[in-house]
Amino acid sequence: MVLNPVTQYIDDRNLRARQRLWEFQERPIDLAAWVLDLADIGPGDRVLDVGCGNGMYLRELRRRGVAGVGCDLSVGMLRATGHHEVVNADVTWLPLESAIFDTVLAPHMLYHVENRVEAAGELRRVLGVGGTCIIVTNGVGHLRSLRDLVEGAARAGTPDWEMRNPSTHAFSLENGADQLRHAFDVVSIVRPRGVGPVVIDDATVAADYVASIADHYQDEVDRPWIEVVEDVRRSVQAAIDTDGAFHVAGDTGAFICR
């Protein structure tokens, strides 16, 4: 399991392929709005979005009239945000003053980091007194039905291979709290309620998702990843032909840290 392959975030194409999957969710959640509501962010607050990606949270901050600073290790991602106040930096060493933000966000990014204890310490360092840090990740059941198809396809060449996703194994809703308590006094977990499954009626959406993570797993399996992708596409299409859609459930939540 490669946590952060250098080819993954040269630009935001891989991320967009994964984001598209969630357009098919029943009873969808506006994840950015949900996260900002957890932190009770309002006008006048100073917010740091670490691992800002292509700017989903920064756009919601702008919509609310909140000043946000985006931070990402990938210059390509920072370009995709279209945001003017950004920092190109590694979360384990943030070139920022201490205690200057009311809220620090780390959405779906700590599982890319090898030294998460050090990273959590940096998130805590730049957080002001009385501030809140919201850290988003996934649970072990996240996209389980899709991962089952990937494992089945990959095991044709590599028996017993397990798809150890960074967000479900390295830093998950199940094991993340203990890692964060090295830096934060209070760590609580919350999951959104009433979120429906992803109902896919276009097999290309699932195939593109799997193709987007080739650089995480190709070195672990003997089959060319493109063949794994094609097997997944066929399996999803078979489910669509039989049942009208392929269903897959997410399991996303957040740690509220103070």
Q: Supply the DSSP string of 170-206, one letter for each residue.
A: IS-TTTHHHHHTTT-S-EEEE--SSPPPEEES-HHHH
CA atoms within 13 A on the CB side of 110: 32
**Closest to 146 in 3D by CA, of 52, 18, 45:** 18
CB 101 within 8 A of CB 130: no
Q: Tell me, what DSSP letter sits at residue 52? A: -
| CA angle (112 as vertex; 193, 161 as ends), nearest 5 | 85
Rounded CA-CA distance 185/232 in Å is 43
pLDDT for 2 equals 80
What tokens does 240 get? 């669509």
How far is 169 from 241, CA to CA, in rounded Å? 33
Structure tokens at 86: 């950004």
Burial class (CB in 10 A: 0-12, 13-18, 19+), 227: middle
Q: What is the pTM of this model?
A: 0.95
DSSP 28: -
One digit per residue, the tens of pLDDT, for the chain of length 258 reads: 788 898 999 999 999 999 999 999 999 999 999 999 999 998 899 999 999 999 999 999 999 999 899 999 999 999 999 999 999 999 999 999 999 999 999 999 999 999 999 999 999 999 999 999 999 999 999 999 999 999 999 999 999 999 999 999 999 999 999 999 999 999 999 999 999 999 999 999 999 999 999 999 999 999 999 999 999 999 999 999 999 999 999 999 999 999
**Per 3-state DSSP, what percentage of the chain is helix, strand, and coil (rounded to 5)?**
40, 20, 40
What the block records as the tokens of 64 is 């609310």
**Locus of tokens 């598209």:** 20
Give first-to-last CA distance, the chain, whole Å: 30
